[in-house]
A and B are shown apart, each in its own frame.
Chain A
Amino acid sequence: MVISTEGLSFTFGKQQVVKSLALQVPEGSIYGFLGPNGAGKTTTIKLLLNLLKPDAGNINIFEQDIKTNRINILSKIGSLIEQPALYQHLTGRENLLNRALLLQVPAQRVEDMLDLVQLTHAANKKAGQYSLGMKQRLGIALALLADPKLLILDEPTNGLDPNGIIEIRELLKKLVAQHGKTVFISSHLLAEIERMATHVGIINNGAMLFQGSIADLQAISKPLVRIEAENTVDAANLLTRNHINVTEVTDDHLTIPYISKQQMGDINSLLNKGGQTVYSIGKQQKDLEKLFLDITQNA
């Protein structure tokens, strides 16, 4: 495990923001850390980076305790927390050069990073004049500067346009696949995480609701049969009389749990024989967005 925590807890004043969190981030994974705004994601990240001191619990990164190996661990982490922290009066290149000085990284690496995030043309512009997307990209370049083994990114695609989001996603996938990095990325957008993550942790009100591989998450999400019918209420009554469990009825469609293709055919003929007009019938994966809401609301 690259990151593993146990019983991690943190309190701001009287409010417990992180509750006994047990993170397990395997090496070589893209770990999507999901939760609505205010769930405790940023606080957790700050705990991981030793910016906040936990009230209780342990944090092990690269199998070392952060309390005793802070410098060693931090030298292998690149991070971007909340909005990127940039010196507005320095140019993009100077921001990178300053960090390169602190991290003792050769200056050539600065040019490589500018190239990687496509800011070479704007390198001599003051960071204060950058657009939000450019700032975000410069923030990612800063995080990658020391060629860290672990990248911790807090909502890195905030403020990026769709092209920018795709670029970041491809970049992160490449870093993991080709360079053996591990990425810990937080987001409140499930669709974004779904497209790149190998592992997912879902947090709400400071507590972990789900943690596992993306396949585990999809397994929880059971498929449904969605039926569009002329009269959904009558159709639902007909199905119920035939001992078929109807999970949802709306004005234009109803849903029932999916079992097999055969079952869909049987239902179709049952409805037809019962005099119901069926416009469409089909299998539907419960989308993760909805699943996410279900999990967070049931907690």
Chain B
Amino acid sequence: MKGFILSFRSEFYKSRKTLGFWASVMLPLLIGVLLFVGFYTKSEKLTSMPPMMLWLQFAGAILGIMGSLVLPMYIIFIAYSVNSIEHRADTWKTLFNLPIPRWSVYAAKFFYAVFLVFMCLALFVLFTIGFGNLLSIVKPELRFDDFHMEKELAQIYFKLFLSSLGILSIQFLLSLFWADFLKPMGIGFICTIAGVVAATKGWEYSYLFPYAHPMAAISSMLKNNHGDPAHSLQIDVFTKDVFVSMAIALVVFITGYFIVQRKSVK
């Protein structure tokens, strides 16, 4: 366990000056700012909206692109970036001859990638709420402060986080073995497009395909309340696609460990 913590801290130390780390902060910030500017400049068209609809518009604009393209591509990039640090510096050999168990080194790297995705999505929640409330201060006619959906937003993003673990584990393994960006990127991109198509066309087995999970997470997030308006915003976190995503992550993570254990370090 000590080895794991040391390795994890080292992952942070190594990556804190790289694009991989800062992308996790800049992506939610940038999207938040863009939306803030958009709502600010178009505020006159939005003043008539009830607070709940305002929030749904605001958060929904981000969620729409997140599920389809931004989240999978971001995950592909993160999985690549934590591994490419070692590929570029040719440091796999030094990592694996540290007096630290191999599983610690491997698991720390994997969980650091998971941590980055978690942090990025947590910042999305934070910035969505933050910028929404900021809008109600600078444009008091936008009644963002009259409705609260912090809990629901946190639930939605947590669901997105869980549904991204499957892709992350697969991309992580691909990036571990291939030093160049194009292979994991190419495979990830094609699978993402296939995933989006599968999820939007309502293919019945799309819940089994990890690259369709973020999209599925968005479309399956609302509980079916048979039109009961009082509970129209209840979030269903643990749907079957989320369970599949977590199961795939677990299986791929363990398989990866055995591959790393046997693998020769060139």
Contacts and interface: CB of A to CB of B under 8 A. Distances in A.
Do the two chains belong together in a single complex?
A: yes
Interface of A: 46, 49-53, 71-72, 74-75, 77, 79, 81-83, 85-90, 94, 97-99, 101-104, 142
A25 B91 CA distance: 27
B265 A51 contact: yes
Contacts of B10: 98, 101-102
A51 B14 contact: no
Q: Which of A53, A83, A90, A99 has the most CB of B within 10 A?
A: A90
Nearest to A148: B99
Q: Which of B9, B88, B94, B262 has the most CB of A within 10 A?
A: B94
A35 to B, nearest CB: 19
B37 interface: no
Nearest to A53: B264
A75 B9 CA distance: 19
Contacts, number: 66
A46 B100 CA distance: 17
Nearest to A89: B17
A72 B101 CA distance: 10
Nearest to A49: B97
B17 A51 contact: no
Nearest to A75: B99
13 contacts: A46-B265, A51-B97, A52-B264, A71-B100, A79-B97, A85-B89, A85-B90, A90-B14, A97-B13, A101-B6, A102-B10, A102-B100, A142-B94
B99 A74 contact: yes
Given A53-B264, A102-B10, A74 B98 contact: yes
A90 B264 CA distance: 27
Contacts of A104: 6
Contacts of A89: 17-18
A144 B196 CA distance: 52
B6 A102 contact: yes
Interface in B1-35: 6-7, 9-10, 13-14, 17-18
A46 B263 CA distance: 13
Contacts of A79: 94, 97
Contacts of A90: 14, 17
A192 to B, nearest CB: 23
B93 interface: yes
A81 B100 contact: no
Interface string B93-122: 110111111000000000000000000000
A86 B97 contact: no
B265 to A, nearest CB: 4
B90 A103 contact: no
B85 interface: yes
